[in-house]
């Protein structure tokens, strides 16, 4: 079976590589020639554990191909998976222009019956429009059906999440489409939940927004814990034993980021309002997360007279560990505030430096200075204050004594609750975290 994948971002590239790993003949399509050339050499454009190794393995096996020639890739494919971006518009809605562009390409070049499978996260009802759009522009006398197959990848574990998913969601409108999609996923040996197309689209949003709600709820409770003298880590531990709640997504911190939760909460909020309904829970989630990201900066601002001329160590730039992605990362909001306040920022991240440089070039700004360092010690040496934004293992391993010995003023604001407050106090570190 020949599979084509449109888009080589997190969704498309991981899907294509994993299909190739299961023995399919896969061609991944992208418009960026430099990116395609790099991937042909087995070099991944994104950092994701295990991804580059599988790319190289399947490149060598001849089951994985990369091209900018969509005509050759789509015209005789049995199934075409769409994994292009649906970025957030200023009003919170999803930008479907990339979906539309690929759909038209497919319509104009397919020469045999095929199944188009949308993996991109799209508003409910989009796939109905995609199917009609393709039919409107079909050049050849072929049958094209559209299915929904949302992804549930966590960045940092995307390959594992694809190969060992808890379930595969497929949304189809015909038995033929359902059977073909089931056949494609048969080698994975995973549970398949088959529903109608619109239900599949809604499942994606409902899942992501529920997890985002859980995070914002814990952050809200953490903020109250600070006011009443409770410890959010104790509260979370007590909650985790309740099977109805579960143990995951109970860690309080400085909010969620990444390519999914921020975009999907806003998109569902927009979709509801478009239909005359207000999703009050999701709207509250968005509001809580927005203020949570800079909560520690505001605490530090109350403590300091000024940030101007101070060396500020920043540990962690990516929105979570295990990825080089900075999209909607809390560090971005805080770096803007710190640099705007005249701070000299020394930032360390094991994977996110290059992407961060595109947003915050190294050097002196009108107010402060941005510098990237290659070690945690270099960031901390002589620092007046330290902010922790990402839970990388090497950052978590820093001891209270290291903060005390290296910093000019051992003042630490921890957005991930990585360290024990009593041990930090015992070492002589002035320490602030979330909800403790």
Kindly report the average pLDDT of the chain as a whole number. 96
Rounded Cα gap, residues 434 and 276, in angstroms: 36
Q: Could you please report the per-residue DSSP string of 354-408?
A: HHHHHHS-SEE-SS-EEEE-SSHHHHHTT-SEEEE----HHHHT--HHHHHHH-S
Domains annotated for the chain, with CATH where assigned, are: 2-195 (3.40.50.720), 203-292 (1.10.1040.10), 295-432 (3.40.50.720)
- Residues 87-133: pLDDT tens digits? 988 888 899 999 999 999 999 999 999 999 999 999 999 999 999 99
Give yes or no for residue 287 having a pLDDT over 90.
Answer: yes
Per-residue pLDDT band at 16 (split at 50, 70, 90): very high
The dihedrals phi and psi of 358, each to the nearest 5 degrees, come to: -70, -25
Rounded Cα gap, residues 207 and 169, in angstroms: 12
Give yes or no for residue 155 having a pLDDT over 90.
Answer: no
pTM: 0.91
Which of 18, 225, 260, 386 is the catalytic position? 260
- Residues 246-262: pLDDT tens digits? 999 999 999 999 888 99
Our CA angle for 296, 297, 301, nearest 5°, is 120
The dihedrals phi and psi of 348, each to the nearest 5 degrees, come to: -130, 130
Per-residue pLDDT band at 402 (split at 50, 70, 90): very high
Rounded Cα gap, residues 254 and 289, in angstroms: 8
Is the alpha carbon torsion for 38, 324, 11, 26 positive or negative?
A: positive
The stretch 51-65 carries a mean pLDDT of 96
Give yes or no for residue 367 having a pLDDT over 90.
Answer: no
Q: Is 285 a catalytic residue?
A: no
């Amino acid at each position: 079976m020949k599979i084509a994948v449109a888009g080589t971002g997190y969704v498309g590239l991981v899907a294509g590589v994993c299909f190739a790993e299961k023995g399919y003949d896969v061609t991944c399509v992208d418009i960026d020639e430099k990116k395609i050339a790099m991937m042909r050499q087995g070099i991944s454009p994104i950092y994701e554990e295990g991804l580059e190794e599988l790319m190289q393995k399947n490149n060598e096996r001849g089951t994985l191909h990369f091209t900018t020639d969509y005509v050759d890739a789509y015209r005789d494919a049995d199934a075409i998976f769409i994994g292009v971006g649906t970025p957030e518009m200023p009003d919170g809605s999803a930008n479907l222009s990339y979906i539309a562009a690929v759909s038209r390409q497919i319509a104009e070049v397919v020469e045999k019956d095929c199944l188009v499978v949308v993996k991109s996260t799209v508003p409910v009802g989009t796939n109905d429009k995609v199917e009609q759009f393709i039919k409107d522009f079909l050049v050849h006398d072929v049958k094209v059906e559209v299915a929904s197959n949302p992804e549930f990848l966590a960045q940092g574990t995307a390959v594992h999440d694809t190969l060992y998913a808890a379930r595969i969601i497929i949304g189809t409108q015909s038995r033929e489409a359902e059977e073909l999609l089931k056949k494609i996923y048969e080698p994975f040996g995973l549970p398949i939940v088959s529903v109608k197309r619109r239900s599949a689209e809604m499942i994606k949003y409902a899942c992501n927004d529920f997890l985002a709600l859980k995070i914002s709820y814990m952050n809200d409770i953490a903020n109250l814990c600070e006011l009443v003298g409770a410890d959010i880590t104790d509260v979370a531990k007590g909650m985790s034993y309740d099977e109805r709640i579960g143990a995951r997504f109970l860690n309080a911190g400085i909010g969620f980021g990444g390519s999914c939760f921020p975009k999907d909460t806003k998109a569902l909020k927009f979709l509801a309002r478009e239909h005359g309904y207000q999703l009050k829970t999701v709207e509250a989630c968005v509001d809580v997360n927005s203020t949570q990201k800079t909560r520690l900066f505001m605490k530090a601002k109350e403590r300091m007279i000024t940030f101007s001329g101070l060396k500020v160590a920043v540990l962690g730039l990516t929105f979570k560990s295990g990825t080089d992605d900075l999209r909607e990362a809390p560090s971005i909001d805080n770096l803007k505030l710190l640099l705007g306040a005249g701070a000299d920022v020394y930032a360390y991240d094991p994977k996110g430096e290059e992407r961060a440089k595109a947003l915050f070039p190294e050097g002196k700004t009108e107010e402060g200075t941005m510098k990237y360092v290659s070690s945690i010690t270099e960031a901390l040496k002589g620092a007046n204050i330290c902010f922790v934004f990402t839970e990388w293992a090497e950052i978590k391993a820093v001891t209270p004594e290291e903060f005390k010995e290296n910093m000019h003023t051992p003042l630490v604001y921890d957005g991930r609750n990585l360290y024990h407050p009593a041990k930090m106090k015992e070492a002589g570190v002035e320490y602030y975290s979330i909800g403790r």
